[in-house]
Amino acid sequence: MKKVLMLGFGCMGRVHYDVWKRLRGVKVAGVFDKNPNALSDPPAKAYGYVEVSDGKPVPKSLRLFGDLDEALRETKPDIVDCTLPTRFHVDTAIAAMKAGADVLCEKPMALDAAGCAKMIAASKKYGRKLMVAQCLRFAPEYAFAKKLVDSGKFGKTVAASFWRLTAPPKTPKGAKAWFFDEKLSGGIALDLNVHDTDIVRWIFGEPQSVKIDAHRRGKCVDHFIVKYGYKDAFVTSEASWAASPSFAFQFGYRIMFEHATVVYDPWRKDALTVYPEKGAAYPAPVKTSSPYANEIKAFLAWTQGRLESAPVCNCDIKKTISLITEGFKL
Ligand SMILES: NC(=O)c1ccc[n+]([C@@H]2O[C@H](COP(=O)([O-])OP(=O)(O)OC[C@H]3O[C@@H](n4cnc5c(N)ncnc54)[C@H](O)[C@@H]3O)[C@@H](O)[C@H]2O)c1
pLDDT of residue 45: 62
Q: What is the pLDDT of residue 41?
A: 87
Among 310, 264, 303, 304, which residue's Cα sits nearest to residue 284?
264
What is the Cα–Cα distance from 227 to 232, expressed in whole angstroms?
13
Burial profile 68-77: b = 16 or more Cβ within 10 angstroms, e = fewer: beebbeebeb
Rounded to 5 degrees, φ, ψ at 162 are -125, 140
> Which run of H or of E encompasses 229?
strand 220-229
Cα separation, 299 vs 21, in Å, equals: 15
Task: Write out the chain's pLDDT in tens, 330 residues.
Answer: 999 999 999 989 999 999 999 999 999 999 999 999 999 987 766 555 556 678 788 999 999 999 999 999 999 999 999 999 999 999 999 999 999 999 999 999 999 999 999 999 999 999 999 999 999 999 999 999 999 999 999 999 999 999 999 988 876 666 667 788 888 889 999 999 999 999 999 999 999 999 999 999 888 899 999 999 999 999 999 999 999 988 878 999 999 999 999 999 998 989 999 999 999 999 999 999 999 999 999 999 999 999 999 999 999 999 999 999 999 988
State in Å: Cα 127 to ligand 1 middle. 26
Cα(10) to centroid of ligand 1, in Å? 5
Residue 110 carries which side chain, given as an amino acid letter?
A: A
Among protein residues, the one whose CA lies closest to atom 30 of ligand 1: 34
For each of the domains in the chain, give its residue range(s) and CATH number, in order of start. 2-135+293-312 (3.40.50.720), 139-289+323-327 (3.30.360.10)
pTM, two decimal places: 0.96
Distance 16 CA to ligand 1 centre (A): 11
Alpha helix stretches (DSSP H) within 113-166: 113-126, 140-151
pLDDT for res 66 = 98
For residue 298, report the distance from its CA to the centre of ligand 1, in Å.
Answer: 21
Contact partners, residue 289, CB within 8 Å, separation at least 6: 140
Q: What is the pLDDT of residue 274?
A: 98
Question: Closest Cα to atom 41, ligand 1: which residue?
Answer: 86
What sections of 7-112 are H helices per DSSP?
11-20, 68-75, 89-98
Which atom of ligand 1 lies at the shortest distance from residue 171's CA? 19
84 lines ligand 1 (CB under 6 A): yes
Q: What gap in Å lies between CA 79 and CA 27, rounded to an integer?
A: 10
Q: Where are the alpha helices (DSSP H) in the chain?
A: 11-20, 68-75, 89-98, 113-126, 140-151, 182-185, 187-191, 194-204, 291-303, 314-322
Q: Which atom of ligand 1 is nearest to the CA of 89?
A: 41
